[in-house]
Structure 1
Amino acid sequence: MTTRTATARYEGFGKTGKGQLDSQSGVLAATPYSFNTRFGDEKGTNPEELIAAAHAGCFTMALSFALAGAGFTEGTLETTASVKLDQDGAGFKISRSDLDLKANIPGIDIEQFAALAADAKANCPVSKLLNAEVSLTHHLA
């Protein structure tokens, strides 16, 4: 079993509060987040952006391993995840994650590509974690 950690620290409350995120790997180190990084244009990150990065990375790695298992040895994958935050009564909810995949895989046909991509979408650990609707759009060059 593998466990990874991240820590969030928030000082102050509501719209005037400010936070920072730190990750075990050090990739996030005192990375700012706040109301204005989430809903405005202040420099920093936000939970939806981090979930989008996690989902794009997890799906792309899962598909990479599926392609290797199917005998493909070269090519490129680029996935953009768009995580949607909607108002939910007095609060908010993450309602969906949309994956947009651009791929160049010599020798693959569209049916095999679509099947491997759909399986990776359904079975990457982050897709399994999310209770949001997960969609996938893919483009094969």
Structure 2
Amino acid sequence: MPQQPLQASLKHSQKEKIMKITRNGSAAWTGGSVTGKGTLSTQSKVLSNQAYGFGSRFEEQAGTNPEELIAAAHAGCFTMFLSFILEAEKKVAEKLDTTAALTLERSPEGSFDITAVHLKLVAKVPGIDQETFDKLVATAKAGCAVSKLLNAKITLESSLIS
């Protein structure tokens, strides 16, 4: 298997541009921790002053929260990295569906920690056997940039459908 599937998938002219990327996100907050409110925004403007607060983070109220954004980022990163790995092996997925379930727990000291992420993948990849698929999926889980960033137990459940 190629050691650098991302580079193998990029044209030479693109490789030079993607050596270092900086992405920006921002948060603004007013008020106290429980009664206050905030907004989250991203450089791309996909999130632009998206409301969040105690209720959306800890009580299932409407709005977003940092943990679901991390879960979505992890699912997206893993899935795209797997597509690069598959392509380097001359395989193209018809479909990769990944969900990430992130666990946030209160520590004995009172802080909140992300303790686990469970990735669940359902994939349709023509012409690949289960053993090869399992090996490539494990490589994607370990090598995805978000997996490497998180200091949490990351588990994976995958199924290859025909």
CA offset digits 1:68-112 (Å, max 9, x no partner): 110013411000000000110222111011100000111110000
Q: Which has the higher strand share?
A: 1
Which residue is equivalent to 1:81?
A: 100
Q: Does 1:127 align with 2:137?
A: no
The aligned length equals 141
AA of the residue aligned to 1:82: A
What is the identity percentage for the equivalent residue pairs of Structure 1 and Structure 2? 50
- Unpaired runs of 5+ residues, structure 2, are 1-19
AA of the residue aligned to 1:135: T
Which residue is equivalent to 2:12?
A: none
Which residue is equivalent to 1:118?
A: 138
Partner of 2:34, secondary structure, is helix
Moved beyond 4 Å, runs of 4+: none
TM-score, normalised via structure 2 length: 0.85
Which residue is equivalent to 1:23?
A: 42
Report if the CA contact (8 A) 2:28-2:39 is conserved.
Answer: yes
Report if the CA contact (8 A) 2:77-2:144 is conserved.
Answer: yes
Report if the CA contact (8 A) 2:82-2:137 is conserved.
Answer: yes
AA of the residue aligned to 2:43: Q
CA offset digits 1:27-62 (Å, max 9, x no partner): 001101111001123211011100000000000000
Larger radius of gyration between Structure 1 and Structure 2: 2
CA distance in 2, matches of 1:74, 1:37: 35
Which residue is equivalent to 2:126?
A: 106
Report if the CA contact (8 A) 2:86-2:93 is conserved.
Answer: no
Match of 2:82 among 59, 63, 75: 63
AA of the residue aligned to 1:39: F
- Unpaired runs of 5+ residues, structure 1, are none
AA of the residue aligned to 2:83: S
Which residue is equivalent to 1:43?
A: 62
CA distance in 2, matches of 1:100, 1:60: 10
TM-score, normalised via structure 1 length: 0.97
